[in-house]
């Protein structure tokens, strides 16, 4: 696993340009364990596979995510499904801490961990920085210790990471799926919104959907 993380981290740090990748037959679907931001009936579903230590993920969280949230998620046009894809041990520990927050506060931890990435991500021991963020977010010291050392939670996150690699072809972060279409890299907002527009245009209108579901009989 260490070798895989190092290889993926090298890809991230080289700053590969973003690209649109043809859709795969196998795409992620929402599960009961997912943390989701937005209305359940939003017509566009965005999956983001990210690592909390990934600098490109942090750029996306700081530059694109706020406008994505205000213009698409808060308006009910899209929902965002968060998926951990930790590139190293520190990212895994951060993911564990965020997962221990109540689901309704997950997005706040997501934003804060990226905003303060430089204060903990490169440390040989990220626990002091992560503990400070956790306590400020309402997690007690005892809760933090339990989360930070939860082997079952650690294994479940790593297992989901390998599932994403095997089933969905995720190889670097950030990777997105927008209504099944795969995109790789931290796209600027205008480019990301363009892809969301394409997804919105492909959604049948209620009239079209009714026509498809109830075809007229020939006389």
Q: Is residue 218 part of a domain?
A: no
pLDDT at 48 over 50: yes
Quick one: what percent of the chain has pLDDT higher than 70?
82
Report the C-alpha gap between 64 and 51 in whole angstroms. 16
Report the C-alpha gap between 208 and 217 in whole angstroms. 16
Q: Is residue 125 part of a domain?
A: yes
Q: Is residue 67 part of a domain?
A: yes
Taking phi first (over 0 means left), then psi (-120 to 50 degrees means alpha), and beta for anything else, what does residue 38 get?
Answer: left
Q: Is residue 93 part of a domain?
A: yes
CATH number, residue 169: 3.40.30.10
Q: Is residue 217 part of a domain?
A: no
pLDDT, the chain, mean: 87
Q: Is residue 105 part of a domain?
A: yes
Q: Is residue 213 part of a domain?
A: no
Domain count of the fold of the chain = 1
Report the C-alpha gap between 20 and 41 in whole angstroms. 26
- pTM equals 0.83
Residue 89 is part of which domain span? 2-207
Give the model confidence (pLDDT) of 77-125 as tens digits.
999 999 999 999 999 999 999 999 999 999 999 999 999 999 999 999 9
Q: What is the pLDDT of residue 136?
A: 94
Confidence of residue 15 (pLDDT cuts 50, 70, 90): very low
Report the C-alpha gap between 167 and 26 in whole angstroms. 6
Q: Is residue 214 part of a domain?
A: no
């Amino acid at each position: 696993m260490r070798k895989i993380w190092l290889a993926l981290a090298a890809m991230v740090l080289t700053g590969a340009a973003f690209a649109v990748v043809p859709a795969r037959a196998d795409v992620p679907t929402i599960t009961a364990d997912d943390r989701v931001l937005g209305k359940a009936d939003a017509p566009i579903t965005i999956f983001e596979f990210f690592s909390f230590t990934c600098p490109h993920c942090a750029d996306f969280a700081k530059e694109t995510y706020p406008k994505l949230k205000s213009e698409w998620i808060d308006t009910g046009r899209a929902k965002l499904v968060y998926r951990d894809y930790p590139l190293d041990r520190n990212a895994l520990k951060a993911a564990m801490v965020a997962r221990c927050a109540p689901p309704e506060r997950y997005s706040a931890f997501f934003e804060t961990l990226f905003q303060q990435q430089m204060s903990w991500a490169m440390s040989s021991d990220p626990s002091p920085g992560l503990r400070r963020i956790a306590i400020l977010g309402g997690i007690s010291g005892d809760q933090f210790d339990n989360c930070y050392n939860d082997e079952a939670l650690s294994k479940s996150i790593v297992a989901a990471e390998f599932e994403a690699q095997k089933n969905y072809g995720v190889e670097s972060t950030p990777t997105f799926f927008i209504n099944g279409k795969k995109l790789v890299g931290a796209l600027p907002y205008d480019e990301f919104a363009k892809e969301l527009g394409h997804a919105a245009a492909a959604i049948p209108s209620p009239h079209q959907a009714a026509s498809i579901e109830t075809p007229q009989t020939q006389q």
